[in-house]
A and B are shown apart, each in its own frame.
Chain A
Amino acid sequence: MKSMAIVIRDDSYDKILTPLVFAYLASAEQTQVDMLFVNWAVKALTVEGAANLRMDGRHAADEAMVRENVAKAGLPNDIYEILKALKSSGCVNFYACSLAGAIFGVNESNLIPEAEGIVGASWFLNDKAAKADHCQYF
């Protein structure tokens, strides 16, 4: 697998971990990973949004335990720190969906510097997802 595209919609702390971990693994094999953040997940591409990610619903009460176990596993338990680690691999690109940005309040002024930019979903689907060896949706 030379390339992988990932679309992330779920923005709760626990659910966003899986695509980030998959991207981390792929980057360790020099697989090029392009990630599009849509819907509420686009907020993860801001410093404040990444810091405010929480666990939802019936799992909310377990958040402290999950964060502690994430740290024990060796990962940063802060989402922004994970994003920075992924970026430093040199194999992972983050893109914010332009519609999601407009709806949920992410723009060039608050987008994290590790993100490639705000893009149209059509471009991502045609130029990244359709051309990738593998595509995942979360």
Chain B
Amino acid sequence: MSAITVTTILDTSGKCCPMPIVETNKAIKGLSLGDILEIIATDTGTKKDIPSWCERTGQTLLSMTEESGVLHYHVRKDR
């Protein structure tokens, strides 16, 4: 598996719904097609929200990992 090259990091630590999604949406708008956004989150609601948001907006969720309560998502801008 090739390594993921992150274009931009968005840290939403401490914030809760709806802000991780709202800020993810804003961040992805500033990227180019193919760019990868890393989202850091502590809101467990994002475990469902981020994949759902990606599916609905046509972005690709490349990975989701969790370590010590901190979630990391890698999202590729495809639309």
Binding site for B on A (CB under 8 A): 1, 21, 24-25, 27-30, 72-75
Contact = CB atoms under 8 A, between A and B. Distances in A.
Interface residues of B, number: 15
A28 B16 contact: no
Interface stretch (B1-9, B18-26, B31-39, B69-77): B18-26
Nearest to B14: A72
B60 interface: no
Interface of B: 12, 14-19, 21-25, 53, 56-57
Given A28-B18, A30-B57, 11 more contacts: A1-B56, A21-B17, A21-B18, A24-B18, A25-B21, A27-B22, A28-B53, A29-B57, A72-B16, A73-B16, A73-B19
A65 to B, nearest CB: 15
Contact of B22 (A1, A25, A30, A72): A25
A8 B16 CA distance: 23
B15 A73 contact: yes
Nearest to A22: B18
